[in-house]
Chain A
């Protein structure tokens, strides 16, 4: 019952933040426009290219970064948690609910974004349209959820959540490579699952597990940081 109340409060933060709708209004149309453009260019594997080079590399991480920022009010996780803790909720419960709701919402957005791009940008050399859309939705959802946990973890550092932009930069710096350091970032695994170059020649199934692992580790340490600050 109280988890439900906390979840509704977290959802209200996301839905009622103007920044949420602004982020969706900017990045969704942009992704769809690029997909349509790629298909209009007559590229054989247009969906592949757009998903790997645009959605996975740029739009998905930035969209999730902004959605997490909207939920946190551009502050830290601790600051977002404290108003509800003041009414008697446990800090760990509030933090888990906040990250959970954020991750699920971002999963949904990422899945819809990737599936829509796959449908619109479908090229002659791409897999069958429906199958590609379902697979892209799976990757987009899993990647977005992992990114959400990653950015929430970043926002657990710094008085105003200054660790969140650092997490974005680290993901870009380490994840664009193919070496061992890329294993710890969502970027490399999302790229692998969308069909791009794998980090350390990791199979796709291992990257999917790695993304789940990043979710879990980031969630655990975010809750730990919130409790340690009290």
Chain B
């Protein structure tokens, strides 16, 4: 059922976030929007939830406006807001009534994310992570919710819930729901979602693609390695020249630029050559696109 969620040439603004001409379609499954908050992922989720309105274009959920299918959408933003005068079990029962579904056992629902101990707690006494977990439980366990929108699922999440999140999201997706995650972590997107789009400054720069989001932007990029001194850079370049993963190499002073078909292999080759040469690296960066998550990956490779 492709097209459960349809975003057609949408432009929107909600200071300081903005979107420009976004065109996307999603069906059942877990999808991710990779980018920082200011790149527009959070605003896109708000549009899908009907919390914000586009300035141009259309947002359709099940071929209708989000406001018309509000009961079937659950939106968990980074700053979760819950009715603070209620207890958690009362809140879940209230949500059931508002979504016109049969109330289920609150403790059983909370157990999906391992937070059943929160059932009798007052909502206003919950920590930020606990509130997010409760909000996520409501969306995951509701039989009416078929679209689940989660901003930064791994951030400010109760530790008990974080460990069960992957299983719970996949369980929900298997019921035919469409889950859209917005995250700045490419690793999180890769672990949780089956496909991704990358957003930068309010525009979609790549995707949807099912490959690792860290790779999709990097095939035209090169890795810039800044060594402590020119001697270290020459040794590093010499080591890289012998590696088959390196397609292009240039060294100027203490800076080495490395290019290859597979950015992950380039990063591994650089790490191996740096260790073998004993070169002291003071800076690593990708130039062209995809810098943030590539930097994390490269740093991880060097550390190991």
Contact = CB atoms under 8 A, between A and B. Distances in A.
Specify which of A17, A85, A230 lies most central, judged by the most chain B CB atoms within 10 Å of its CB: A85
B100 to A, nearest CB: 8
A89 B85 contact: no
Contact of B71 (A15, A79, A88): A88
A89 B97 CA distance: 10
B13 interface: no
Given A85-B70, A87-B138, A230-B51, A2 B98 contact: yes
Contacts of B74: 86
B235 interface: no
Contacts of B51: 82, 230
Given A82-B81, A87-B138, A88-B98, A9 B71 contact: no
Interface string A170-207: 00000000000000000000000000000000000000
A134 B72 CA distance: 49
A86 B81 contact: yes
A5 B85 contact: no
A83 interface: yes
**Size class of the B contact interface (CB-based, 8 Å):** 20 to 34
A73 interface: yes
Interface string B89-122: 0100011011110000000000000000000000
Given A9-B85, A16-B85, A73-B84, A84 B53 contact: no
A82 B79 CA distance: 12
Interface string A191-229: 000000000000000000000000000000000000000
Interface in A47-96: 73, 79, 82-90
A87 B81 contact: no
Contact of B86 (A2, A12, A85, A90): A12
A138 B73 CA distance: 45
Contacts, number: 58
B99 A9 contact: no
Interface majority SS (helix, strand, loop, mixed), chain A? helix
B75 interface: yes
Contact of A87 (B50, B67, B85, B95): B95
B82 interface: yes
A13 interface: yes
B84 A87 contact: no
Interface string B44-56: 0000011111000
A17 B97 contact: no
Nearest to A15: B85
Interface of A: 1-2, 5-6, 9, 12-13, 15-17, 73, 79, 82-90, 230
Interface of B: 49-53, 67, 70-75, 81-86, 90, 94-95, 97-100, 138, 144
24 contacts: A1-B97, A9-B83, A9-B85, A9-B94, A12-B85, A12-B86, A12-B90, A13-B85, A15-B85, A73-B84, A79-B81, A82-B51, A82-B81, A83-B82, A86-B75, A87-B95, A87-B99, A88-B72, A88-B98, A88-B99, A88-B100, A88-B144, A89-B70, A230-B51
Which 9 A-B pairs rank lowest in CB-CB distance, beginning with the nearest? A88-B71, A87-B98, A12-B85, A13-B85, A87-B95, A16-B85, A88-B70, A83-B83, A5-B97
